[in-house]
Chain A
Amino acid sequence: DVKVTQSSRYLVKRTGEKVFLECVQDMDHENMFWYRQDPGLGLRLIYFSYDVKMKEKGDIPEGYSVSREKKERFSLILESASTNQTSMYLCASSLIRPQETQYFGPGTRLLVL
């Protein structure tokens, strides 16, 4: 079974703080993704990575950065958290190509005060 884990289920941060969200997958998948999920908007892609140290912007990369130093780990960084970044953040991975079945983690619900 593919397992995608996220470091926190819930986080509360203050405006201006630097926030790290961690994601780990245990199936040697090439591709990893970060989405945010908001009611009525579905999932929107923030960044994805198709290889170690490689990254590509998604639809809404502003205010975010990512890091992939190891194949199994993909981090999302909010450099200076803002209230409009309050959301559910989902990490996903896929085996070889981005358009294949994606496997999702449980999500991190982030509240920025």
Chain B
Amino acid sequence: AQSVSQHNHHVILSEAASLELGCNYSYGGTVNLFWYVQYPGQHLQLLLKYFSGDPLVKGIKGFEAEFIKSKFSFNLRKPSVQWSDTAEYFCAVSYNNNDMRFGAGTRLTVKP
């Protein structure tokens, strides 16, 4: 069965530090890739997505992600985090235009 792995369970950073959250997925043909974010007390919302084209995609709030097909990866990055980025981040992959698989999530804590 297809699976999505997020390498870090909990990441703690200070404000202005750079962020990279890893996401790898198992091979399964055509994929669409997503990062969702869940801020404390709020519902999941889309951060960014990749369907095709430029493998470097930009999302809301200064986040970006790079699709590296040869590595089956879709890592999330932000050059300088803010306290308001404290949230849980989920990588998701849809395979062959079918169901969506979510990773286990990475909790990000940004210290002011």
List residues of chain A with CB under 8 Å of any chain B CB: 4, 35, 40-45, 48, 58, 90, 92, 97-102, 104-107
Contact = CB atoms under 8 A, between A and B. Distances in A.
Nearest to B91: A42
Given A40-B9, A43-B90, A107-B43, A102 B103 contact: no
A90 B97 CA distance: 22
A42 B105 contact: yes
A99 B99 contact: yes
B98 interface: yes
A104 B90 contact: no
Nearest to A43: B102
Nearest to A92: B44
A99 B97 contact: yes
Interface string B49-93: 100000000000000000000000000000000000000001010
Given A42-B90, A106-B43, A107-B43, A101 B103 contact: no
